[in-house]
A and B are shown apart, each in its own frame.
Chain A
Amino acid sequence: MVENIVFGIGITALAGALAAVAGAAEDTESDIGSQGDPNSQVQLAPQMGFIHRIFNKAVAGEPPAYGLWCALGAGLAWIFLIKDINPILALILGATIATFVQGVYATSGYLGRTASLAKFGQPVYIDILKSMLSVTMAHAFVAIFTTVAMCYLMNAVLGHPFPLPILGLIWGIALGAAGSATGNPFYGKERQYQNQKFGAGVPISASGNIVRYAEAGQRNSLDNGWFSAKLGGPASGICFGLIVFLELWRTILFEHIAAGWGAIIVGLAVILVFVVIDRWVEVYARKNYGPYTVAEEASS
Chain B
Amino acid sequence: MSALGAAKPAAGGAIDPVSSVVGLVLAVIFIGIVFVLAPAALFPLLGIILGGVLIGFGVHFVPVGGAPAAMGQAPGIATGVAMLAAGAGLAGLFGGAWAAELGVVVATVTGAIGGGLMMAVTCLMVNVIYVFGMGIPAASGKVTKDPLTGDTQAEYKSQGTEGHGLPFISFVGGVVGGLFGGGGGTLIYLMLLQVYEQYLPVIFNAKVEEIMPVAVSLAGIFAIGLFLVNAVLAAYNITGTIEGPHDPKFKRFPRAIVASLVASALCGLVAILIVVVNLNI
Contact = CB atoms under 8 A, between A and B. Distances in A.
A291 B155 contact: yes
A178, A297, A298, A300 pick with most chain B CB within 10 angstroms: A298
A89 B154 CA distance: 56
B126 A170 contact: no
Interface in A189-207: 189-190, 192-193, 197-207
A122 B162 CA distance: 30
B158 interface: yes
Interface residues of B, number: 90
Interface stretch (B21-29, B196-204, B217-225): B217-225
Given A186-B133, A189-B71, A298 B141 contact: yes
A103 interface: no
Contacts of B131: 281-282, 284-285
B87 A267 contact: no
Interface stretch (B39-47, B52-60, B115-123, B263-271): B115-123
Interface stretch (B2-10, B12-20, B97-105): B97-105
A37 B136 contact: no
B160 A203 contact: yes
B125, B142, B221 pick with most chain A CB within 10 angstroms: B125
Given A192-B71, A198-B135, A279 B159 contact: no
Contacts of B124: 274, 277-278, 281
Interface of B: 66-73, 77-80, 83-84, 86-88, 90-91, 93-95, 97-100, 102-103, 106-107, 109-110, 113-114, 116-118, 120-138, 140-144, 149, 151, 153-168, 171-172, 175, 212-213, 216-217, 220-221, 224, 248
Interface of A: 36-41, 61-64, 160-163, 166-167, 169-171, 173-174, 176-178, 180-190, 192-193, 197-207, 231-232, 235-236, 238-239, 242-243, 246-247, 250-251, 255, 259-261, 263-264, 267-268, 270-271, 274-275, 277-279, 281-282, 284-286, 289, 291-292, 294-300
24 contacts: A37-B79, A38-B71, A61-B83, A161-B98, A166-B221, A174-B90, A181-B84, A187-B70, A188-B67, A198-B134, A200-B161, A204-B162, A243-B118, A251-B95, A255-B99, A261-B106, A270-B120, A274-B121, A282-B138, A289-B135, A291-B155, A295-B155, A298-B140, A299-B141
